[in-house]
């Protein structure tokens, strides 16, 4: 997903998406118990997912077409809920696009502290329970899995 979708920052994006999965679900080993929030391997809330879906389907029709061509997925028809729990691919595409929507550059691939701060600011939000320290610990815990790239 990171190499096939724009912009050309695949290595930075890979590290941030992998870190997001580590921090949010322990690489899909834990699940949010509150169904209205925290869906899928990167813990989407409904508002964020709808914003991403609208961005793909309406704001960036060329991106929608590319995703449909590459993966056979049309985000215009995807609803919030079960598909996020059952399709890691849909989650990763939406997460990649979610980070793509942020004007601030992605942190460098080897800058774990900057990645943690970026995740907190742009994904977990200032109101979220996660901390940069949690992100760092989660990435370090799963480093043997995510660093095989």
- The band of 28, judged by pLDDT with boundaries at 50, 70 and 90, is confident
- Using alpha carbons, select from 58, 56, 114 the residue that is nearest to residue 90: 56
Distance CA 147, CA 18 (A): 9
Indicate whether 149 pLDDT > 60: no
Looking at the chain, the whole-number percentage of residues with pLDDT higher than 90 is 62
pLDDT attached to residue 144:
85
Ramachandran angles phi, psi of 39, nearest 5°: -100, 140
């Amino acid at each position: 997903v990171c190499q096939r979708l724009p912009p050309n920052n695949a290595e930075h994006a890979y590290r941030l998406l992998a870190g997001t999965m580590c921090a949010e679900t322990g690489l899909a080993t834990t699940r949010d118990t509150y169904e209205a929030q925290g869906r899928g391997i990167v813990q989407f809330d409904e508002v964020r997912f709808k914003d991403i879906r609208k961005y793909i389907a309406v704001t960036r029709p060329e991106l929608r077409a590319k995703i449909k061509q590459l993966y056979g997925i049309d985000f215009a028809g995807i609803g919030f809920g079960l598909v996020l729990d059952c399709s890691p691919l849909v989650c990763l595409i939406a997460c990649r696009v979610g980070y793509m929507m942020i004007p601030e550059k992605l942190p460098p691939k080897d800058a774990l502290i900057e990645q943690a701060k970026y995740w907190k600011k742009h994904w977990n939000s200032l109101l979220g329970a996660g901390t940069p320290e949690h992100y760092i610990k989660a990435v370090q815990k799963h480093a043997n899995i995510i660093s095989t790239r």
